[in-house]
Amino acid sequence: MALFGRCGACLDGCNVFFVRRNPHLAIPPVATLSPFSYKSTESQSCIRRARGEVQRAMATILIIDDEEQMRLFLQVALEGAGYRVLTAENGKHGLRLLEHQEADLVLVDIFMSEMDGLELIPLVRKMRPASRIIAISGGSGEWDYLDSAVYLGAHTTLKKPFSPQALLAAVSSQLKNAQPIPLAHPDINLNEVE
């Protein structure tokens, strides 16, 4: 017999159906499901907490990429893994977000209009030195832009195309090893950014 009520296993106060004899089996009510999903991630996290599984603090990740499809791909993969995701369509918007939001990790595309990733990475490092940076690019040519991104302060890189598994592995690795590294260019003045 199922009962509708508040989840007692978490502080979120989400509404779920509980099976009376097995409180670990929670079924989200149909009204709480989004039209694009048959699973409620809220309910899934409540199930994990009810089972006593260790819950890591939710990391915040900022995606800065001018391609809408890539931002959506990254956002869906990261939110599905339980991360809080912010998105920006260019470097200037990303810097404005970082003025008001903390980000544990920043995913930066190298080739963008207005402000490219190579210009943006040192600014992010100066503004948020504790944030990890992953540079992403699909560009090819004689000069390896991803190596330049590491020189300018990115902690690691991903070459497009990459799988969601490769993305999540890189993100997990960077968040696990979060320690600030020295700036390559400490003389950057954030007030000079338009």
**How does pLDDT run across 27-55, given as a tens digit for each residue?**
444 344 344 333 334 444 554 444 444 44
- Which residue ranges form the domains of the chain, and what is each CATH number? 2-50 (no CATH), 60-192 (3.40.50.2300)
User: In the Cβ-directed half-sphere of 149, how many Cα atoms lie within 13 Å?
Assistant: 28
Degrees to nearest 5, angle at CA 151 with 150 and 155: 30
Check if the beta carbon of residue 94 is closer than 8 Å to that of residue 119: no
| Sequential DSSP letters for 92-107 | HHHHHHHHH---SEEE
pLDDT at 117 over 70: yes
Q: How confident is the model at residue 187 (pLDDT cuts 50, 70, 90)?
A: low
pLDDT at position 192, please?
Answer: 55
Share of the chain above pLDDT 70, in %: 59
pLDDT digits (tens, 9 = 90+) for 52-108: 444 455 899 999 999 999 999 999 999 999 999 999 999 999 999 999 999 999 999
Q: How confident is the model at residue 113 (pLDDT cuts 50, 70, 90)?
A: confident
Check if the beta carbon of residue 174 is closer than 8 Å to that of residue 155: yes
Residues 6+ apart with CB under 8 A from 177: 132
pLDDT at position 15, please?
Answer: 42
Check if the beta carbon of residue 137 is closer than 8 Å to that of residue 157: yes
